[in-house]
Amino acid sequence: MEDPPGRLAWRRNAMDKHTSKILVTSGLPYANGPIHLGHLVEYIQTDIWVRFQRLRGRDCIFVCGSDAHGTPIMLQAREEGISAEEMVVTYQQEHQRDLGRFMVEFDNFYTTHSEENRELVEEIYHRLTERNLIERRVIEQAYDEEAGMFLPDRFIRGTCPVCGAEDQYGDSCEVCGATYSPGEIRDPKSILSGAPPVLKESEHVFFRLGEFEAMLKNWTANGAVDTGVARKLDEWFDAGLRDWDISRDAPYFGFQIPDTEDKFFYVWLDAPVGYLASFKNLCDSRTDLNFEEYFEPGSQTELYHFIGKDIIYFHALFWPAVLEGAKYRLPTAIFAHGFLTVNGQKMSKSRGTFISAAAYLEHLDPEYLRYYYAVKLGSGIEDIDLNLDDFVARTNSDLVGKLVNIASRCAGFISKNFDGRLSDQLENPALQEEFVNAAVSIEACYEHRQYSKATREIMKLADRANQYIDERKPWVLARNEKTAAEVQNVCTQGLNLFRVLMIYLKPVLPELAKKTEEFLGIDALSWADLAEPVLGRSIQPYRPMMLRVDDKAVSALVEALQEPA
């Protein structure tokens, strides 16, 4: 039988896909503290996009790992009386555990403190040196005489030289967004001792970033970053790109620079190389992956980095310049997101809103948060707010009141009256087609990371499904022998509408999708399944798939996190 025009249009759209392989990364969590809800914005955003690609049948690899180097880790480990290596391993395992419990599904979660990363960083350094892109020069650097060490930029706090904001980092201002050198900040103080740092000479290693200005302007202007990010980058281009200091003095936890005695690679050189190292580690364990295929110049694969807006400078300027200089391929695109606030404010321990992933999981279902973030996330760098009252109301209304309600309203009639068997036909094929053809719009929303728009469209369909059930009233039809047979068709229709909605929401709610597959007795849902309804087969007895969020659980979470006065 010939497909109706609408379904043909959907199928043509569904087949018109990229055929190349995709590699996706998220920013590497720093190995000196637990994963918190702010971190989870990025990992959930990335995981939804990766799951969507896989749902459509695309070959999509997702790698990440712990960012393991730098002075903060060295000093924290020293304070705790353990080695830096030991602390890094502990947090790597904790990060992987907590992210996994939020259903963030990596192909590999590795660490920048690895032999693969050391080899790649040294290889990149040698390639840059051979191309005359490395220069050594003596600089004056902030030194804490009481602590007996040179100070990283972030270990200096003072007044922003641009806007005058107090208590800002030594390299950038959180108020106006300006970047500068520690020597430019006013009234500087060491965060280690509180003493004003002195200037001391030291030879450092620089990467000639300015050599890549034309390339970077062209790359960022041609779709590699969103418009808002491109505007921010224009400010840095207008100011002129400076050579980048890629070295740090001992003591430092990191990789020693070849042919030096007391110089180490700056963490921001080896951290993004950690993406390559994690993928290389994965390639070494799988015969179907080839590292060079993904990273050689001219590669036909796609490479996407998901990051926070605070590290755009490193990822959209330094990183592509280093890759270009070392003769590796450039990222296809960099996707930046905003920060998380809780109840309209920065996360705060005193207010009980600095929430770790582990603390959340003691009280609440992780899929509640996955869905709420999806409701809030767009493709831009605007901050999103976790309003706890809205979180409860939205989750209960959308997921329980609308979505799983469709299945619970229909399943009982099928089990009780028809031995759990679905009808051989749909009661309203036109309505089914309307739901299926929504794939074109919803697919575009996911592809462009407009999850907020996608969830709105899906919930409108959920409303439409509930409206259909209200109109057909299977509970009334079941009372009359003349119309009792219609109940099977109506409820089969309702369950097929629910199935379509769960295909659309599978990237966001993978566990609920799995429960749906078990309930309907079907194989793993995929985008290709949209076109064919499930008919004439038995389903399992319905069990509640998702419970309402309890206000008391949210209150208990906040109370447990509040610091005593």
Beta-sheet pairing, 60-66 with 22-26: parallel
CATH code of the domain in which 34 resides? 3.40.50.620
Beta-sheet pairing, 186-190 with 244-245: unpaired
Same domain? 418 vs 340: no
State the pLDDT at residue 350.
67
Provide the number of structural domains found in the chain: 3
Would 553 be classed as within a structural domain? Answer: no
Q: In terms of DSSP H, where are the helices of 438-508?
A: 439-447, 451-472, 474-477, 484-505
Same domain? 106 vs 165: no
Q: Bridge-partner residues for 360, per DSSP?
A: none
CATH code of the domain in which 446 resides? 1.10.730.10
Same domain? 155 vs 195: yes
Give, in order, the Cα–Cα distances in Å from 55 to each of 43, 64, 104, 494, 528: 18, 21, 15, 23, 8
Residue type, 70: G
> Taking CA 403 as the corner, what is the angle to CA 399 and CA 408, rounded to the nearest 5 degrees?
115
Same domain? 116 vs 176: no
Same domain? 196 vs 110: no
Q: What is the distance between the alpha carbons of residues 34 and 467, in angstroms, rounded to a whole number?
A: 44
Among residues 359, 377, 408, the one where a domain terminates is 359
Q: Which residues of 136-157 are buried (b: 16+ CB within 10 A; e: fewer)?
A: eeeeebbbbeebebbbbbebbb
Low-confidence residues in the chain, pLDDT < 50: 1-17, 564-565
Same domain? 399 vs 519: yes
Among residues 312, 340, 359, the one where a domain terminates is 359
State the pLDDT at residue 560.
82
State the pLDDT at residue 558.
86
Q: What is the distance between the alpha carbons of residues 142 and 152, in angstroms, rounded to a whole number?
A: 8
Would 542 be classed as within a structural domain? Answer: no
State the pLDDT at residue 178.
84
CA 333 to chain centre: 14
- 277: containing domain: 18-123+266-359
Nearest to 436 by CA among 517, 531, 513, 503: 531
Same domain? 395 vs 484: yes
> Taking CA 444 as the corner, what is the angle to CA 438 and CA 449, rounded to the nearest 5 degrees?
125
Would 416 be classed as within a structural domain? Answer: yes
Residue type, 551: D
DSSP letter for 435, please.
H
Same domain? 312 vs 179: no
Same domain? 42 vs 171: no
Element (H, E) at 178: none
Beta-sheet pairing, 156-159 with 168-169: antiparallel
Would 372 be classed as within a structural domain? Answer: no
Q: Bridge-partner residues for 337, per DSSP?
A: 308
DSSP sequence for 375-428: HH--SS---EEE-HHHHHHHHIIIIIIIIIHHHHHHHHHHHHHSTTB--SS-S-
DSSP letter for 316, please.
I
Nearest to 381 by CA among 316, 303, 319: 316
Would 258 be classed as within a structural domain? Answer: no
**Structure tokens, 306:** 């998901």
Same domain? 399 vs 527: yes
Q: What is the distance between the alpha carbons of residues 486 and 465, in angstroms, rounded to a whole number?
A: 17
Would 184 be classed as within a structural domain? Answer: yes
508 three-class SS: coil
Would 366 be classed as within a structural domain? Answer: no
Same domain? 393 vs 520: yes
Residue type, 212: F
Predicted confidence (pLDDT) per residue in 92-145, tens digit: 999 999 999 999 999 999 999 999 999 999 999 999 999 999 999 999 888 999
State the pLDDT at residue 19.
61
Would 370 be classed as within a structural domain? Answer: no
Beta-sheet pairing, 340-342 with 384-386: parallel
CATH code of the domain in which 242 resides? 2.170.220.10
Nearest to 507 by CA among 47, 148, 130, 122: 47
Predicted confidence (pLDDT) per residue in 194-247, tens digit: 999 998 999 999 999 999 999 999 999 999 999 889 988 998 999 899 999 999
Nearest to 498 by CA among 467, 541, 462: 462
State the pLDDT at residue 18.
55
Same domain? 505 vs 448: yes
Q: Is the Cβ–Cβ distance between 146 and 198 less than 8 Å? A: no
Among residues 359, 379, 411, the one where a domain terminates is 359
